[in-house]
């Protein structure tokens, strides 16, 4: 039966030869689900893998806008509606100059598994643009968002497809996108986007959800492995965006000492523990660089990034949380982390570890909390935002936080169950793929050949 998996992998490679990130994501999932295919020969008969590796729809469009100098700019927009088996398509929008079809497809593919793990009725999608928000004025950001939504609105809706934020798309961008959607559609469709401001339909805890959820998941994973706890542990966190900031906040609340954070240019190391209020001011208010931290904390160190390997992974730590972007932990970095005694990796970002890096961690008995499970708190809370919009009702911070915590505990338990079922020990990476795949395959079989 493994021949079937290998044959599908070969076909996917041929068909998507120029999409390395997409191939990496598919390869990781298909390699780890081989034991399920062995047990379920009917999956081959029904072409489950062929269908699971082909997006239902890929939309690509031109986004034209005018910059502050009156110059016409053209970017490319995307929405990959990967799979709507278990609910409306759902997944974030990424604005970053690196965005291309391969990255959109890999993120959409990851999203279908992640959303299945939440246990909530949401399908998987991803979108975005190669627009680079760095250095753009507020008005340029607004004009770009309006032009992007003018096209995207044809394809989305509260029961069709519900985008949210991702890299380069935060509360400001969601506000502009929502405003343009409302202007064109001229109706209340609060649930069409999530991550909205609290004044117009957003949910409490959505801002914190991915980072908090990551720490709730890690808390469970540590507890299940010898009763480990965050208190007293040293933590390093890459990135200083939405996921990184709130992972830091919750880790500190649980008594961990976060000593380093980063952005794409370099990292800061503060042996006294990161002062998160300063990072929040720099990143959320001033939209500055992480290096600016030294202006108020001269005792901290700034280490510039000079190669593909981020300097943050050279810092000795008990727990490392990659919360910036894909493939940011190379095999080299993994070796340094292991040599420095790391005990656990928590993937806040999507696919942050190169495949070889993940394998290296697992071979060296480092616990790995896989992104599909560990960062699912963001999309789960987005689903809770959608429910509140449908109910025309708001839940309190405590209520949503409690729901988020319970969802992360459930996700961890479903991984443990899959690991036990397939004799995988603590390989939660395989456990996540197996738990999610099982659910999607069942839904696919139930819905006939479509
Ligand atoms: P933000 O835009 O808020 O922050 C991204 C952070 O990562 C910034 O500090 C950025 O630095 C850094 N970064 C971006 N590209 C690179 C790079 N090539 N090398 C090193 N650092 C980089 O994004 P989010 O925090 O929302 O997202 C971070 C990750 O988490 C992404 O992988 C995203 O897909 C994932 N995720 C996000 C969710 C959410 O709810 N927001 C939900 C689930 C997953 P700089 O400013 O220099 O670019």
pLDDT of residue 1: 61
One DSSP character per residue, 373-414 reads: HHTTHHHHHHHHHHHHHHHT----HHHHHHHHHHHHHHHHHH
Beta-carbon count within 10 A of 159 CB: 13
Cβ of residue 166 lying under 6 Å from some atom of ligand 1:
yes
Residues carrying CATH 3.40.50.10860, the chain:
56-189
C-alpha to C-alpha distance for 130 and 61, rounded to whole angstroms? 11
Residues carrying CATH 3.40.50.720, the chain:
209-374
Fold of 56-189: Rossmann fold (3.40.50)
C-alpha to C-alpha distance for 271 and 221, rounded to whole angstroms? 26
CA distances from 52 to 43, 108, 395 (A): 11, 11, 35
Cβ of residue 167 lying under 6 Å from some atom of ligand 1:
yes
Mutate to test the pocket of ligand 1, among 114, 208, 241, 379 (most ligand atoms within 8 A of CB): 241
**What is the tens place of the pLDDT at every residue in 111-145?**
999 999 999 999 999 999 999 999 999 999 999 99
pLDDT of residue 2: 80
With beta carbons less than 8 A apart as the criterion, state whether 238 and 267 touch.
yes
Checking 131-136 for CB contacts under 8 A at 24+ apart, the result is 131/63, 131/75, 131/95, 131/97, 131/99, 131/168, 132/95, 132/96, 132/97, 133/95, 133/96, 133/168, 133/173, 136/67
In the chain, what percentage of residues exceed pLDDT 70? Answer: 100
CA of 83 to the centre of ligand 1 (A): 24
pLDDT of residue 310: 97
CA of 400 to the centre of ligand 1 (A): 23
pTM over 0.75: yes
**What is the tens place of the pLDDT at every residue in 233-280?**
999 999 999 999 999 999 999 999 999 999 999 999 999 999 999 999
Q: What is the mean pLDDT of the chain?
A: 97
Mutate to test the pocket of ligand 1, among 98, 118, 122, 166 (most ligand atoms within 8 A of CB): 166
C-alpha to C-alpha distance for 242 and 170, rounded to whole angstroms? 8
pLDDT of residue 220: 98
Active site residues: 126
C-alpha to C-alpha distance for 436 and 432, rounded to whole angstroms? 6
CATH of region 209-374, choose from 3.40.50.720, 3.40.50.300, 1.10.510.10, 3.40.50.1820: 3.40.50.720
Q: Which residue, among 331, 337, 290, has the nearest Cα to 313 in the 3D structure?
A: 337
Cβ of residue 301 lying under 6 Å from some atom of ligand 1:
no
Q: What is the mean pLDDT of residues 147-167?
A: 98
């Amino acid at each position: 039966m493994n021949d079937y998996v290998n044959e599908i992998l070969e076909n996917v490679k041929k068909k998507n030869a120029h999409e390395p990130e997409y191939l990496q994501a598919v390869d990781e999932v298909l390699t780890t689900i081989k034991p399920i295919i062995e047990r379920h020969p009917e999956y081959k008969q029904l072409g489950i893998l062929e269908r699971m590796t082909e997006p239902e729809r890929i939309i690509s469009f031109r986004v034209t806008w005018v910059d502050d100098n009156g110059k016409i700019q053209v970017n490319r927009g995307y929405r990959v509606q990967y799979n709507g088996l278990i609910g409306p398509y759902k997944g974030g929008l990424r604005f970053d100059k690196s965005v291309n079809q391969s990255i959109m497809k890999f993120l959409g593919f990851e999203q279908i598994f992640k959303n299945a793990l939440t246990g909530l009725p949401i399908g998987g999608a991803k979108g975005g643009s190669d627009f680079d928000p760095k250095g753009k004025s507020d008005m340029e950001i607004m004009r770009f968002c309006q032009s992007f939504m003018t096209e995207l609105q044809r394809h989305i809706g509260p029961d069709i497809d519900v985008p949210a934020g991702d890299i380069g798309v935060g509360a400001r961008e969601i506000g502009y996108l929502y405003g343009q959607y409302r202007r064109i559609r001229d109706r209340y469709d609060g649930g069409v986007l999530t991550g909205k401001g609290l004044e117009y339909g957003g949910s409490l805890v959505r801002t914190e959800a991915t980072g908090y959820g990551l720490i709730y998941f890690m808390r469970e994973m540590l507890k299940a492995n010898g009763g480990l706890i965050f208190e007293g542990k040293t933590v390093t966190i890459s990135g200083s965006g939405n996921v990184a900031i709130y992972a830091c906040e919750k880790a500190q609340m649980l008594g961990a000492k976060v000593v380093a954070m980063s952005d794409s240019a370099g990292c800061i190391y503060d042996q006294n523990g990161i002062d998160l209020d300063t990072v929040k001011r720099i990143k959320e208010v001033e939209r500055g660089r992480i290096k600016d931290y030294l202006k108020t904390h001269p005792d901290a160190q700034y280490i510039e990034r000079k190669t593909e390997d981020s300097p943050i992974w050279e810092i000795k730590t008990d727990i490392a949380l990659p919360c910036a972007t894909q493939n940011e932990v190379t095999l080299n970095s993994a070796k340094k982390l292991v040599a420095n005694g790391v005990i656990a990796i928590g993937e806040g970002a999507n696919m942050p570890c190169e495949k070889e890096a993940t394998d290296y961690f697992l071979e060296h008995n480092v616990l790995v909390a896989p992104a599909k499970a560990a960062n699912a708190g963001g999309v789960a809370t987005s689903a809770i935002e959608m429910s509140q919009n449908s109910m025309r009702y708001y839940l309190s911070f405590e209520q949503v936080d409690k729901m988020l915590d319970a969802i992360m505990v459930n996700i961890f338990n479903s991984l443990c169950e899959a690991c036990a079922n397939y004799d995988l020990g603590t390989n939660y990476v395989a456990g996540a793929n197996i738990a999610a795949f099982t659910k999607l395959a069942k839904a696919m079989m139930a819905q006939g050949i479509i």
